[in-house]
Amino acid sequence: MSATGAAQRVCLDIRPAIGNDRTVAVKAIAIIGSTGSVGRQAVEVVKDNMDRFRIVALAAHRDWETLAVQAKEFRPEVVAMSDPDAAKRLAGILPKGTDLQVGPAGLCSAAVVGDVALNCV
């Protein structure tokens, strides 16, 4: 199975909860490793299914430029960088209201923000 197929299968198998009023609850998703090949594909799957999913956290190791673009598009609550030097470059350009977490503990913080965490590392 291709990485795209795997990412779609993972995302689409996360069935949104249906409330008592039959409305579909949007799942809050944290994507760890969002700048890698699988992570970027997971982001695209979520983007194509915004009626079902919302990105609330994004995390990466050192690709701060891609993470900045993703953060500007999706405006997550939390963005995490495991590399402190990359985090310094990212700090001044994040959207207002986005919390920057740094280091391994920051990745863990990002992973628990949403209803579901996708580990794309």
Q: How far is CA 90 from the centre of its chain?
A: 16
- The pLDDT value recorded for residue 17 is 53
CATH number for the domain harbouring residue 10: 3.40.50.720
C-alpha closest to that of 14 among 53, 66, 71: 53
Lookup result for tokens 């970027």: 40
Window from 13-17, 69-73, 100-104 with minimum mean pLDDT: 13-17
- The pLDDT value recorded for residue 6 is 47
Q: Nearest 5°: phi and psi at 78? A: -130, 140
Q: Give every CB contact of residue 112 below 8 A, 6+ residues apart in sequence.
A: 30
- The pLDDT value recorded for residue 10 is 47
Lookup result for tokens 């430029």: 65
Per-residue model confidence as pLDDT tens digits over 105-121: 999 999 999 999 999 98
Q: How many domains are there within the chain?
A: 1
Supply the range of the domain harboring residue 14: 3-119
Per-residue model confidence as pLDDT tens digits over 16-38: 555 555 566 899 999 999 999 99
pLDDT of residue 52 exceeding 50: yes
